[in-house]
């Protein structure tokens, strides 16, 4: 991926979080057209940008709607029409079996992983990575039966 796009997608700790992109690619596949994903605790919405560029319909969410923080990045890359914004508590995702992927990095991660699994369609996977001091210290994956 172009380094400046990678910076827009990851924002920080590019080395560690690039591996999460590979994980989602592996589980969702190369073509995300027709896929529906949610980014929780999105901040500036870098993962929403990445998913929208791959063709997904995206719900970009944070405790308060991230439209103001994330909108400029998405508009700048021409993908704003694929993205909607919602205020959403990652520990209480108000969807069940809706999404092909739940994307998150940083913030509310443990609970988001648990609740994210519930929001996934059967057969899809969720992943939690815990980072300390720039190092990946724990990886947990959960996969629901298809
Ligand atoms: C460290 S920032 C990470 C933002 C972005 N994901 C990133 O990697 O740059 C943590 C984010 O988590 C959000 N957050 C914290 N608790 C949350 C919760 N319970 N539900 C949703 N978002 C939450 C904050 O509002 C903030 O945007």
Categorize the per-residue pLDDT at 138 as very low, low, confident or very high, splitting at 50, 70 and 90.
very low
6 lines ligand 1 (CB under 6 A): no
Q: How high is the pLDDT of residue 137? A: 44
Look at 127 and 69; give whichever has higher pLDDT: 69
Q: How high is the pLDDT of residue 102? A: 83
CB–CB of 22/99 below 8 Å?
Answer: no
- String of b and e for 66-101 (b: at least 16 CB within 10 Å)? bbebbbebbeeeebbebbebbebbbeebebeebbbb
63 lines ligand 1 (CB under 6 A): yes
Domain boundaries, the chain: 3-143
Strand partners, 140: 128
Instruction: Give the number of the atom of ligand 1 that is nearest the alpha carbon of residue 11.
Output: 9
Give the separation between CA 107 and CA 136, rounded to whole angstroms: 15
Q: How high is the pLDDT of residue 121? A: 76
Pick from 46, 31, 29: which is nearest to 83 by CA? 46
CB–CB of 129/135 below 8 Å?
Answer: no
From the candidate CATH numbers 1.10.3720.10, 3.40.50.150, 3.60.20.10, 3.30.230.10, the one assigned to the domain spanning 3-143: 3.40.50.150
From atom 9 of ligand 1, which residue's Cα is the shortest distance away?
43
Instruction: Give the number of the atom of ligand 1 that is nearest the alpha carbon of residue 42.
Output: 6
Give the separation between CA 21 and CA 2, rounded to whole angstroms: 14
Residue 23, CB-side half-sphere exposure with 13 Å CA sphere: 22
Least confident stretch, 13-22, 56-65, 129-138: 129-138
Extract the tokens encoding 123: 């057969």
For 77, residues 6+ apart whose C-beta sits below 8 A from its C-beta are: 8, 49, 52, 53
Summary mean pLDDT of the chain: 80
Q: How high is the pLDDT of residue 25? A: 79
Give the separation between CA 89 and CA 41, rounded to whole angstroms: 8
Tell me what percent of the residues of the chain surpass a pLDDT of 70.
Answer: 76
Q: What is the pTM of this model?
A: 0.85
């Amino acid at each position: 991926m172009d380094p400046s796009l990678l910076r827009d997608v990851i924002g920080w700790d590019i080395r560690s979080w690039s591996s999460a992109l590979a994980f989602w690619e592996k589980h969702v596949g190369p073509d995300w057209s027709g896929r529906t994903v949610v980014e929780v605790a999105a901040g500036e919405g870098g993962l929403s940008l990445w998913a929208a560029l791959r063709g997904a319909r995206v719900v970009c969410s944070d405790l308060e709607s991230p439209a103001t923080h994330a909108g400029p990045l998405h508009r700048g890359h021409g993908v704003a029409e694929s993205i909607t914004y919602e205020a959403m508590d990652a520990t209480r995702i108000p969807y069940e079996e809706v999404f092909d992927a739940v994307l998150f990095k940083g913030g509310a991660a443990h609970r988001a992983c648990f609740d994210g699994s519930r929001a996934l369609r059967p057969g899809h996977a969720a992943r939690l990575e815990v980072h300390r001091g720039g190092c990946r210290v724990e990886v947990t994956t959960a996969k629901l039966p298809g």
